[in-house]
Structure formats: C-alpha cells, structure tokens
Structure 1
C-alpha cells in the first residue's frame, strides 16, 4: 500500500486548524521552513497525517526537538485535556510526511517509550519553557518520534 500523504500537492491544514495554521503553513512553504511572528526562530516542521475517519491528508505545523536521527513532536494540544486530532490520526495511520526547511520526506511516527518520555520532555522545557504550562494532571502528553523511512 502506498502512503497517500507522499504526493506533490500540498494537503489542506488539519480540520479546525484555523486561519493561523493556514498562514503558518503557507509562510513555511513559501520561505522554505522559515516563519515570522510569534513562531520566528522556533524549530518548526509540517506534519502531514492521514485522517483516521476521512482518509484525507491533513497538515499541522508543530514545534519539534531533534533527538539523534529522529524528530520528536509533542501532542500537548496547548494544555488541553484532549489529545490533538493530528495525534489520533497518526495513531491510526503512522505513515506520515514531514517537511523541515525545504526538505519533504516520508516518516514513520511512533509514540515515545515511557522510559525516555521524561528526559525528552525535560529537554523540550529547557529549550522552550512555555511547554511546562502545557502539561496537565489530567493526562500525560504523548511524545511522538518521527523517523525517516
């Protein structure tokens, strides 16, 4: 089976992404990974997943942490008690597409093992302290490793 997210057209932003994400995605692609505003200088990637129900590709801009040969993203959903839609989608369809800078490649997404979760979370908070506020008592924020295929 082929990965429907690996194509030459750019998928629409994730459902409910809003104008902000659409603008970030457009700027990211126009400027080969660079964005301005409140995300200027942040390690940003675009993650395209297949919708669990729709089967359609959905793209979300996410901050990432480099960990060896993989990238780690955080399903914090801004501190919400619910997992973000993109996370539920990649659990159903772990074959994803990653865009970093001008590069676009297929990757396999996997939730990080609990044994390494805390160390990666601590590294992210050290790099971007605002992430400390995204953790709630209601749930553990899933961390997702993206490994190039």
Structure 2
C-alpha cells in the first residue's frame, strides 16, 4: 500500500484532556454520591463501573471509573490507559491483589480480577470490536498488548 493510501489511526484528544475528563467523571460521581456517573451496558454500548483496588505501594484504597461489558456473570474491561503507553495503575494494583470490589448501577460486589488469555481474550476482544470499530487502530498506538481484564464474582 502506498503512503498516500495508508490507513490513518483515529485521532485522540491530547493527553491532558483525557486526564481532565477522567477527573471530571470521578468528580461528578463523588458530588452526586454515586447516583450519577455509572450506567449499565446496553445493545452496542459499554457501561461504566467503579473499580476499587488496593494500592500496591501505599496499601490505600484506590478507585477508578472504567468502561465495561458483561460476559455471563463476569464483567470485563480493557487495561488501556487511555490508549497511552504503560499499564494503568489500577491494572498493576489488581495484578498485585486480585480480590477487589466493583460497583455498577446494580450495586457493589466483590470480584476477583485476572487477564483473559487465548481464545477467551480473542472472543472478548472481538465483542468489544463490535462496539468500537477503531479498537485495533487505538490498540496499535501502544507498544504492548492491551490486557482484557475479567472481573469474576467471588463469594
């Protein structure tokens, strides 16, 4: 393919804007005490959840709002760091201590996090591709593979 006909990666907003949007979303959630800021996935759309982990260095609770989809009783998300380089802190924390809490519009529940591998990862990635047609182009911006993170219910 010639340079004239190269497929261009979709544009991302500047990093400062992505980080500001995350802060605003967390702020809205906090101001409204969780009544606003989370939504369930629906046909062709991902939902948002609040994941609470334990900081691997500080031992303090850390929370982040993530996009997610459902796969039976499990939730899953992408450890994408806003499509920037490096792993998101929540994913590093989850790997260090996989027993965490997730909050959805249905309520809070204890879950155990893990990375999807092999066929499971490919299947879940393909489902997310059905929602976001630019998923592979965004993922190609990162030098490492984007983890598909499974959040399984625990007793």
Greater Rg by CA: 2
The answer to whether structure 1 residue 104 and structure 2 residue 111 are counterparts is: no
Q: What SS does structure 2 have at the residue aligned with 1:61? A: strand
Q: Is the 8 A contact 2:25 2:37 kept in 1?
A: no
- In the aligned structure 1, how far is the partner of 2:33 from the partner of 2:57? 27
**Deviation at 1:28?**
7.4
The answer to whether structure 1 residue 115 and structure 2 residue 119 are counterparts is: yes
After TM superposition, the structure 1 = structure 2 runs for residues 119-138 of structure 1, keeping only pairs within 5 Å, are 119-136=123-140, 138=143
**Deviation at 1:90?**
0.3
Runs of 4+ in 1 over 6 A off after TM superposition: none
**Deviation at 1:94?**
0.3
Cα RMSD of the aligned pairs, angstroms, is: 2.4
Question: 1:10 is matched with which residue?
Answer: none
Consecutive unaligned residues of structure 2, counting only runs of 5 or more, are 1-18
Aligned length in residues: 129
- In the aligned structure 1, how far is the partner of 2:60 from the partner of 2:134? 32
Q: Is the 8 A contact 1:49 1:59 kept in 2?
A: yes
Consecutive unaligned residues of structure 1, counting only runs of 5 or more, are 1-15, 36-40
- In the aligned structure 2, how far is the partner of 1:52 from the partner of 1:133? 31
Write the deviation string for residues 20-77 of structure 1: whole angstroms up to 9, x where unpaired: 2422432571237349xxxxx7411111111000111111110111111100010011
